[in-house]
Amino acid sequence: MHALPPPPAPAPAPLPPDAAIAQFLKRLQWGLVWFGVLWLTWRLSTVLTPFVLAALLAWLGDPLVDRLQANGRSRNQAVGIVFLLMTLAFVVLLLILVPLVERQVVTLIESWPGYQAWFFNTAVPWVEARTGLEISSWLDQNRIIELAREHWERAGGIAATVLGYVSRSGFMLIGIVINLVLVPVLAFFFLRDWDRLVERIASLIPRNHIDTVSRLARESDAVLGGFLRGQALVMLVLGLMYGVGLWLVGIDVGILIGIIGGLLSFVPYLGPAAVVVMGGIAALVQYGDWQHLLGVGVVFTVAQLIESYWLTPKLVGDRIGLHPVAVIFAVLAGGQLFGFLGMLLALPVAAVANVLLHFAHERYTASRLYAGEASGLVLPDAHVGPPGLVLPGGAEGDGARDHKGERPA
């Protein structure tokens, strides 16, 4: 006979009514606090955007500042060097991209009549012939003017709305300029005082939770930092491959399409889809043959193979651990709830939430709820089982011996 296992630990005693009510009120209080934080974030999303962007830049530059400090430089010197490098990189990027994008936009405007003619004379008849829909009659310019005359009052209301939007856009433009000035200033101060901010936040955490919170913070920092830095390099390399490849194929606006595809590749599958659609349309409008359309397909295929088998595994890996559908949902939901600020915070929040979910799963698998209660039944070495079943202990059940024609002792 095996030794009896130790009895299971007794279930925790239920809390007294007063303690249960106090615990419920404490949880309700924290829930209201988080609700208030989310409400304030929603109301102040426009104001918070430059602060969040500056904090992200400071967080990305802080590891390099720490390395320079470890080599003997003071904090102020290290911050000055990193801030200067970030500013120079941004200026060089602007000096390269702005003239390039300007030439591409001018080329697109000059070739726009060709795109319009292709749409009305080729694409619309092709769709009508295969679907039976009469699209061209709804897109006729005279019909649009006649509809505007028939609904003049509604058109006037729309015009007033458009004018109001244009006037608001002037204030929005002023706000954008102010934010562009604020972001580098705020980033410098965040970068200089980053370690001090982290220490002050850590000092507010209850001491009995400091180890757990520190561990989760380190995991979130590693996941998010690796993902964002790696993803930025992936976007840059993809944009270069798309742009240079389409330019070699002969697409006039290929570089512009490559830049758009590289930026949109932050959302899974959106960047490649944009490159295929826009590159295919540009090839059909500019050349109208299958050879250049095939060239666009070759550029897309080569770029996707390099991205899937080398870029993403080497630079990003599976650091964030989120399914592409979850990434798309996080970006769209963040934009819907909090605008541009929500899109900035979507992936950081998703990465932290993923770390918290892994921690919750770890706690759950180690809990009594997952393991269940230990059984109080103890069986001997010679277990009794169904015929032919070899049970733990190396012996067969009595039924198995009966099946072989042997009698149990």
Domain boundaries, the chain: 210-368
Tell me the one-letter amino acid at 20: A
Q: Is pLDDT above 70 for 407?
A: no
pLDDT digits (tens, 9 = 90+) for 80-119: 999 999 899 889 988 988 888 888 889 889 888 888 888 8
Average pLDDT for 339-368? 82
Tell me the one-letter amino acid at 109: I
Provide the token pair at 243: 């742009």
d(CA 383, CA 397): 6
Q: In whole angstroms, how large is the CA radius of gyration of the chain? A: 32
Beta bridge partners of 396: 390
The answer to whether 298 and 271 are in contact (CB under 8 A) is: no
pTM: 0.64
**How buried is residue 199: exposed, middle or buried, by Cβ count under 10 Å (0-12/13-18/19+)?**
exposed
Q: End-to-end distance of the chain based on CA atoms, in angstroms?
A: 17
d(CA 271, CA 34): 35
Average pLDDT for 52-56? 87
Q: Count CB neighbours of 347 within 10 A.
A: 21
d(CA 184, CA 83): 9
Please report the pLDDT score of residue 120 as a whole number. Answer: 80
The answer to whether 373 and 8 are in contact (CB under 8 A) is: yes
Please report the pLDDT score of residue 242 as a whole number. Answer: 93
The C-alpha torsion from 173 through 176 and 178 to 184, rounded to 10°, is: -160
pLDDT digits (tens, 9 = 90+) for 147-182: 666 665 554 555 555 455 445 555 566 767 777 788
The answer to whether 352 and 220 are in contact (CB under 8 A) is: yes
Reduced to 3 states (helix: H, G, I; strand: E, B; else coil), residue 330 is helix
Provide the token pair at 274: 């944009």
Q: Count CB neighbours of 46 within 10 A.
A: 14
pLDDT winner (highest mean) among 17-21, 254-258, 313-317: 254-258
Q: Count CB neighbours of 285 within 10 A.
A: 21
